[in-house]
Structure 1
Amino acid sequence: MTVVMLAISPLVPVQALSMEQPLLVVQSASGKPGEEAIVQVLLREPAQLKTLRFKLRYDPFLLELNESNVRQGGDVGAGWLYASKVEPDQGTVHIGAVSTKGFLTNQDAVIATLSFGIRAQAKAGPARVTIETVEAYYDVAKPAPIQTSSGRIDIMSTTSPVNMPILKGESVIEVDEASRTVHLVQHVRAHNGTVETVITLSDMRRLIDEAKKLALTSHASSKITVRIEAVVSAEEMVKKAVVTLHTGILEELVSLQGIQVLLATPLGQIALDHEAWHSISKQASGDLRLQLEQIASRSVLDALVHDSGRIDAKGWPAYGFEMTSDSGAITSLMGGEMTVMLSYERTDNEHPSKIVAYVLDEAGQWRLVKGHYLDEAGSFWLLLSNMSPIKMGYVDIQFLDVSEGDWFHDAAAFLGARGITDGVGEQRFAPYATVTRGQFIKLLLDAYGIMPRGSGDNFEDAGNTWYSGYLASAKQLQLSDGVGHNRFAPEKPISRQEMFTLAYRMLQQLEELPALQDDGPLKFKDDYALAPWAEEAVTYLAAAGVVTGDGQNVKPQGLSSRAELAQFVYRLLRS
């Protein structure tokens, strides 16, 4: 099945809309090997702050920085004592600023500007510039609580342009054989916070022709990407991104085979599968306009409250989506799906597993949506079936028996933040407790949004208890056949191979199996211990990177612990 994607690249980071305390921000930048990338350090909500000291860390194998490339910010000028020290061998920068008067307003203040050289040997990908330590004071005796938000430099691939680079508003095509990508870059300016990209039919056909040429030089199974990107200056604030596809392009997209198309603007990413494009082509006529807009939180809903009351939604960004053509608005994808990546540079105080997103459903209620934060991309990934407003949030769930250093910490935090598990009570997760078949099927159905059913066909041993409705759903949706003789054995501890097989068969039925990876399946030393009925499931999930065992053994007949269950479902939901 051909997948056609619309991607909106995170060139301009989007921060939360309001802050209650100072926030030190390293702005992200981009560049190619051999070029310079200019990074600014900003202080938000700085009023009355008189002293600021912090240390930045970067990778000296990817980035180069000298003392002369660190410049004092324009907002710490007269009346400020300013100092900086670069340790190039260690990849650290120390910066300090002190004043007797301090900052007099709450306007964003530029503290420093750093010109990093991107080393010639650097490969494409993100190079983090992190805030390692920070101290701030309102006066000598009054330290200031301060949040931090680290940044990154996106190292771009070196490419060979098909055409010479041209002026703003025009386009240049570049071919990157290493990543099997054809780029069309439009340099545009924001007008009153709005950026618009216009794609003509001739532009699209040129890109597809170049992609087909690239496909001839690539491996037969390699996917070719066409990326259309709107680039704005780093200082331009973008609140609305509009992509216009001229008449005739929809027909080209619906007929594509083996090529995915990415459209890029500064606010996030949108990806539509083939069913969605087919649905849109039936509803649209003439030009198609897609709009993504960052909107004030309270214009969507005055408050957002998680069932547990642990949601902190104040100040988090919200987004609206619109799709229109000459024949009117398109609100439903009619069975198709849209993948969205919203740009958000998290603060260092925010754990990525606890960042969540909500969608406004047809009943006007906020509903948790499947998704997760991608730290390396500085974006939140989520899946939608219609053009609904989205609001991000943060659920700071804490389990007393789970610490930051535990290998299952991220999984427990991820499932807890989404209400998939609340632990076993009294803020305990019980990571080493064994799991029953009933507990497993409940958690798996909750993870995929399948509601328990109160009536209808069920297993003989379903009883009348907390898991009864979940067993009814599993049977009626043909997600599980149980253990035979119309029984499920919900109180029996579940083995690892049972856990993998139940999940595999359920996701196969739901058509939600994770994609296979190029590296091929892992080979386990104890494959011989697998039951014949579990071989297909374990082989597939290992090839998808979801089942890894301990690197050598998969221990198929061992009983599953709650920590192992959480890690398995966490990998499934992020695959």
Structure 2
Amino acid sequence: MLRIRLKYLVLLPLLAGFLAAQIVQAATAPPGSVNNPVVSRSYVEKALQPLRDEISRLAAEVAALKAQRAVKFDDVPTTHWAYDSITYMVNKNIVKGVGAGKFAPGSQTTRAQLAVMIVNALQLPTTGVKAEFTDVPASHWAYSHIAAAQKAGIISGNDGKFRPNDSVTRGEMAAMLVRAFNLERLNKAARFSDVQPGYWAYDLIMRVADNGISRGYEDGTFRPANKVSRAEVCVFLALSLDPARRK
């Protein structure tokens, strides 16, 4: 839609010229003629206001378009299956590369890293919060984000531990997404052969599937114990943040 609107941007000068001509005609017409309403500053301002509003709106959209920078990571070509989602996440400053022009899309995501991404995505406050996990000291690089996620009820841990350096599983990720984005059960037909009622994350995985955030694998499995890559996290978070991306 933005591209269509930009096509008409060239028409704005013509419209401005037309309005200006009308105003000049009104100002120079004989008093009392049909072309000479009461020409005043307020009349001119009123006549031009719709044009100003349209220019402001289009300028904002152009600025937004320019902000959509192309992702330039050596290991994420435009043909990468998650390129669009990675671009979306990077442009929103939710995730960054790993340095040296790399994104490492296939690398596993730790629980701490996922907590940081979710907190960034939701723009949760990270000041004045305290983490209650024994294995997350105040000196931990992600302490404030983990604390923010815990305060928001997005993350939890067993035995008072968060295990920040453990790789996130697909089941754990489903749990965090449901809590972060308040995903509801829609009772759709999605079922996975390896996720049965009674499994600890069954309801959570069903919610993620019901909302179109994950359909699992082509063989009908969800593989809840599989580790989640950075590319996969970008896809899941992009779908969670922008329902328009869901199909």
Tell me the equivalent position of 1:402: 76
Tell me the equivalent position of 2:174: 500
Q: CA deviation at 1:399?
A: 1.5
Tell me the equivalent position of 2:214: 547
Tell me the equivalent position of 1:559: 227
In structure 2, the CA distance between the partners of 1:572 and 1:295, relative to structure 1 (3 Å rule), is: same
Matches within 5 A, 1:110-509: 191-192=47-48, 194=50, 238-240=51-53, 294-295=55-56, 317-318=59-60, 356=64, 393-453=67-127, 455-463=129-137, 464-482=139-157, 484-508=158-182
Q: What CA distance in whole angstroms lies between the structure 1 residues aligned with 2:105 and 2:2? A: 40
**1:124-168 CA deviation, whole Å, 9 max, x = no partner?**
xxxxxxxxxxxxxxxxxxxxxxxxxxxxxxxxxxxxxxxxxxxxx
Q: What CA distance in whole angstroms lies between the structure 2 residues aligned with 1:498 and 1:12? A: 39
Q: What CA distance in whole angstroms lies between the structure 1 residues aligned with 2:2 and 2:164? A: 49
More helix per residue: 1 or 2? 2
Q: What CA distance in whole angstroms lies between the structure 2 residues aligned with 1:11 and 1:564? A: 28
In structure 2, the CA distance between the partners of 1:442 and 1:294, relative to structure 1 (3 Å rule), is: same
Q: So what's the TM-score if we normalise by structure 1?
A: 0.33
**1:6-43 CA deviation, whole Å, 9 max, x = no partner?**
xxxx799532xxxxxxxxx4x6xxxxxxxxxxxxxx9x
Tell me the equivalent position of 2:35: none
Tell me the equivalent position of 2:34: none
In structure 2, the CA distance between the partners of 1:12 and 1:555, relative to structure 1 (3 Å rule), is: closer
C-alpha contact 2:108 2:230 (8 A) present in aligned 1: yes
Q: So what's the TM-score if we normalise by structure 2?
A: 0.72
Q: What CA distance in whole angstroms lies between the structure 1 residues aligned with 2:4 and 2:78? A: 27
Q: What CA distance in whole angstroms lies between the structure 1 residues aligned with 2:75 and 2:59? A: 32
Give the share of equivalent positions with the same residue, in percent. 24
Q: Secondary structure at the match of 1:404?
A: coil
CA RMSD of aligned residues (A): 3.3
In structure 2, the CA distance between the partners of 1:495 and 1:468, relative to structure 1 (3 Å rule), is: same
Q: CA deviation at 1:416?
A: 0.6
Q: Secondary structure at the match of 1:485?
A: helix
In structure 2, the CA distance between the partners of 1:556 and 1:456, relative to structure 1 (3 Å rule), is: closer
Q: CA deviation at 1:515?
A: 8.9
In structure 2, the CA distance between the partners of 1:423 and 1:521, relative to structure 1 (3 Å rule), is: farther
In structure 2, the CA distance between the partners of 1:531 and 1:571, relative to structure 1 (3 Å rule), is: farther
C-alpha contact 1:480 1:502 (8 A) present in aligned 2: yes
Q: What CA distance in whole angstroms lies between the structure 2 residues aligned with 1:471 and 1:447? A: 13
Q: CA deviation at 1:422?
A: 1.1
Q: CA deviation at 1:356?
A: 4.5
Q: Are residue 537 (structure 1) and residue 204 (structure 2) matched? A: yes
In structure 2, the CA distance between the partners of 1:405 and 1:11, relative to structure 1 (3 Å rule), is: closer
C-alpha contact 1:521 1:539 (8 A) present in aligned 2: no
Q: What CA distance in whole angstroms lies between the structure 2 residues aligned with 1:524 and 1:493? A: 22
Matches within 5 A, 1:9-88: 13-15=4-6, 25=7
Gap regions ≥5 residues in structure 1 = 1-9, 16-24, 28-41, 45-106, 109-189, 195-237, 241-292, 297-315, 319-343, 347-354, 358-391
Tell me which amino acid in the other structure corresponds to 1:558.
N
Q: CA deviation at 1:485?
A: 1.7
Runs ≥4 in structure 1, deviation > 6 angstroms?
none
Q: CA deviation at 1:400?
A: 1.4
Gap regions ≥5 residues in structure 2 = 15-45
Higher relative contact order (CA 8 A, sep 6+): 2
More strand per residue: 1 or 2? 1
Q: CA deviation at 1:550?
A: 2.3
Q: Secondary structure at the match of 2:201?
A: helix
